[in-house]
Amino acid sequence: MSRSRSFALAFATLLAASAPAAAQLLPLGRAAMPAEIAAWDIDVRPDGQGLPAGKGSVKDGERLFLEQCAACHGEFGEGAGRWPPVAGGRGSLKSENPEKTPGSYWPFASTIFDYVRRAMPFGNAQSLGPDDVYAITAFLLFMTDVVGEDFVLSNANFASVKLPNADGFRDDDRETAEKQFWGREPCMKDCKTEVKVLGHARALDVTPGEKKGPKVD
């Protein structure tokens, strides 16, 4: 039998074998083990699903914050240099310089816990244990006047913590709120009588490559 013929036959056999297997699972991938899922599944939802057992106090959180976080976020959470502030900013959302901190903007405390646990400290992520993350979260909540200085945050009382701006969001409504952007027949000729230049990028002069841009703090 020629090589190509034997290949064709083998292929046909394979096809025949797999044809009725539409409902059957292809032998690709393997079962994820519970220990593997536990190692990677560290996400936490606003309803508390995913929180590990543990607790941490504002007091411990302050110590940890000074050790692990203050170099970038500032001793009072005000943010050092261009690093983001994590405290303050309340009442700033309508202003010219909104400051989006957990206290001023973030809707859910679970996001603080989840994010610190997965991504902080910057450059040494996933080095904090659950109790450390509870403590740092508690301290951030204290800094933003959501809890008192004696507060101890735990998986048991987590759901009771509400952030001030929880109701400050609505789902994408562009298709209704901006429906004027659809279906217009745009003007093509003599659309304006006068055109004025209102602003120049050069007035700010922050483009790299021309001159060094200013440091914005």
Partner 1 sequence: MGSEDRKLRLGRRGFLGAAASVLAAAGARADAPDPAITEVQEWARVLGDGVATRPYGKPSQFEKHVVRRDVEWLTASRESSVSFTPLHELDGIITPNGLCFERHHAGIAEIGPQKHRLMVHGLVERPMVFTMAELRRFPGRTNRIYFLECAANSGMEWRGAQLNGCQFTHGMVHNVMYTGLPLKALLDHCGVRTNGKWLLVEGGDASLMTRSIPLDKAMKDCMVAWAMNGEALRPEQGYPLRLLVPGWEGNMWIKWLRRIEIGDQPWHQREETSKYTDLLADGRARRFTWIMDAKSVVTSPSPQAPPAAKGPNVLSGLAWSGRGTIKRVDVTLDGGRNWRPARIDGPVLPLSLVRFYAEFDWSGQELLIQSRAIDETGYVQPTKGELRQVRGVNSIYHNNGIQTWLVRADGQTENVEIS
Interface with partner 1 in residues 92-151 (CB under 8 A): 93-94, 98, 100, 102, 105-108, 110-111, 114-115, 118-119, 122-123, 125-126
Write the binding mask 22 to 61 for partner 1: x where contact by CB under 8 A, - elsewhere.
---xx-xxxxx---xx--xxxxxxxx--------------
Q: Kindly tell me which residue out of 19, 148, 150, 209 binds partner 1, with binding defined by CB under 8 A.
A: 209
Q: Which of 15, 16, 19, 216 binds partner 1 (CB under 8 A)?
A: 216
Q: Determine the Cα–Cα distance for residues 13 and 20; give it in Å rounded to an integer.
A: 12
Q: Map the footprint of partner 1 across residues 176-205, applying CB under 8 A.
A: 177-178, 180-184, 186-204
Closer residue to partner 1 in complex, CB, 3/94: 94
Give the binding-site size for partner 1 (rule: CB under 8 A). Answer: 84
Residue nearer to partner 1 on the CB measure, 81 or 148? 81
CA atoms within 13 A on the CB side of 153: 34
Report in angstroms how near the CB of residue 136 gets to partner 1 at its nearest.
14
- What are the angstrom distances between the C-alpha of 52 and each of 17, 48, 126, 133, 154? 46, 9, 14, 10, 9
* Ramachandran bin of 186, using left for φ above 0, alpha for ψ from -120 to 50, beta for the remaining angles: beta
Rounded distance between C-alpha atoms, residue 80 and residue 59, angstroms: 22
Minimum distance from CB of 152 to partner 1 (Å)?
24
3 is a site residue for partner 1 (CB under 8 A)? no
With both helix axes pointing from N to C terminus, report the angle between 58-68 and 130-143 in degrees, rounded to the nearest 10: 100
Instruction: Please report which helix (H) or strand (E) contains residue 56, including its range.
Output: strand 55-57
